[in-house]
Amino acid sequence: MNKYSSIVQILSLACACLIVAESASQAGAATAAPANSGHLLVYRAAKFGYRLSLVLSVDGKDVASLGEGQSYDGYLPAGQHVLVARVAPNRTGARPARETVTIQAGQTYSYTALLSGENLALVRK
């Protein structure tokens, strides 16, 4: 019985070490910026709307669908990019926001998406 409990303790400790090591490697990978890139942050305004999502696309590809309290945090290669933010579901016919941004390596670009009347706006901070 004593031998069995020692084996269980050793296996439990090994599993815990693996979990901690994996978490540390994922955290390190998430903070490393790709070479020759800029940091893009897009926040969904607090009064964006109930049961509405903010859909963000970069260069024609959807990169995020943000619900209440969520934001986008990503990196884009240096150069010119087109950001489009739209509402889903779009029950009111709100027009999407479109912003062209020229990303410079090492720079951070921060926007807040908000509904302004019947239009969606991307406001640079």
What is the per-residue pLDDT for 42?
97
One-letter amino acid identity for 121? A
Q: Which strands sit side by side in the sheet containing 119-124, from one edge to the other?
A: 71-77, 37-44, 108-116, 119-124
- For the segment 68-92, the average pLDDT, to the nearest whole number, is 94
Q: E strands, 11-117, where?
A: 37-44, 53-58, 61-66, 71-77, 79-88, 97-103, 108-116
What is the per-residue pLDDT for 118?
80
- Is pTM beyond 0.85? Reply is no
113 pLDDT more than 50 = yes
The answer to whether 58 and 82 are in contact (CB under 8 A) is yes
What is the rounded CA–CA span in Å between residue 84 and residue 123? Answer: 12
Q: Give the model confidence (pLDDT) of 32-66 as tens digits.
A: 778 899 999 999 998 887 888 999 999 999 999 99
9 pLDDT more than 60 = no
